[in-house]
Amino acid sequence: MEENDFNPKLSETNQAEIVCSNCAAKLEFEPGTTSLTCPYCGTKNEIEIRDESIDELDFEQFLKDAEVGGEIEEVLTIACNACGAITTLDPNVVSGDCPFCGNKLIVKSESTSKQIKPKSLLPFKIKAKEAQESFKKWLNKLWFAPSGLKKFAAQAEKLAGMYIPYWTYDADTYSKYKGQRGDDYSTTETYTDNGETKTRTVTETRWTNVSGRLNLYFDDVLVIASKSLPKNKTDNLSPWDLESLVPFDEKFLSGFRTETYRIGLKDGFDVAKVKMDPKIRETINTEIGGDHQRITSLGTTYSNIKFKHTLLPIWISAYRFNNKVYRFIVNGRTGKVQGERPWCWWKIALLILAIVGGIAAISYLLG
């Protein structure tokens, strides 16, 4: 199956509306619980978490026969015309805001795309109010922020709960390397200082050619499958408690929006290789030993590759300032905040003027 077959558009959940067992009203998942709470009668409808292991799929085999396998589903799709983000709207809703750029989304026509079914997810643990408080605290620490930014933070509805797609990869790696080991030793050298002969101790390095082989196992290398968020910010949302993953159940999505992956399975593994490389090099340097190490050639092969498609929760808001979009994201499990921020240049200019004025006043008084 070609990688392009896994190039998803935005996904709309296929689920029917999940309704209250008491009054038949639409339910929403309550973060921090395992239940769906009815906003009208208050009835808590428990989600039965299936007692089953979350197994990884075989990477190579999946690429060969995924097209006819049971792990592929067709979903309704829509995309943001402004930023290209692929998001969902609730059933029967025909318009809304893109959580990644704030642009208006209007469903003009429906289309479908094939995607790999998620096998697991981390349910939201942080409630919207808690995420909003984390957001406000982060904003209050920002120097020289535009005044409108804090007003924006007061609008709780601007925070959207999103499930973001990720891949996790397991792999055995086998590496062959060549390099050099550097061992320091001390020697005494003679030098002349103002006509006087002196000696001093200097450190030199003796280099020895080395080669070797290394076997390492990697478990749950996490790769974000979204292109809608700044990678440096999403990386800094870690750590994620992947040991708390639960089997995928659409009931956890109720009341939230989801994004389908835009980084495919094969491309995701290329990213995983890059994330594995520092650990491989670090271990090789330890094996080489000595005081210094050089790796002159390194080749790594990967086997027994397994993967999972999983969804992780974030709260997100998009703020537009001077025609530029800034994104703020909150880890839906820990409350950890990351964000892009605008600067208020007139505040900075005033500070500079104040400093210059202060220096001029001091100079005048001293003069």
| pLDDT of res. 34 | 82
Burial of 94 (0-12, 13-18, 19+ CB in 10 A): exposed
* Cα-Cα-Cα-Cα dihedral sign, residues 69, 74, 75, 80: positive
Return the sign of the alpha-carbon dihedral for residues 254, 260, 266, 272. Answer: negative
Q: What pLDDT score was predicted for residue 351?
A: 65
| Residue burial 240-254, b: 16+ Cβ < 10 Å; e: rest | bebeebbbbbebbbb
> Could you tell me the pTM of the whole model?
0.79
Give the model's pLDDT for residue 52. Answer: 77
pLDDT at 286: 96
pLDDT for residue 165 = 93
Positions in the chain whose pLDDT score sits under 50? 1-16, 92-94, 109, 156
Q: What is the pLDDT of residue 209?
A: 97
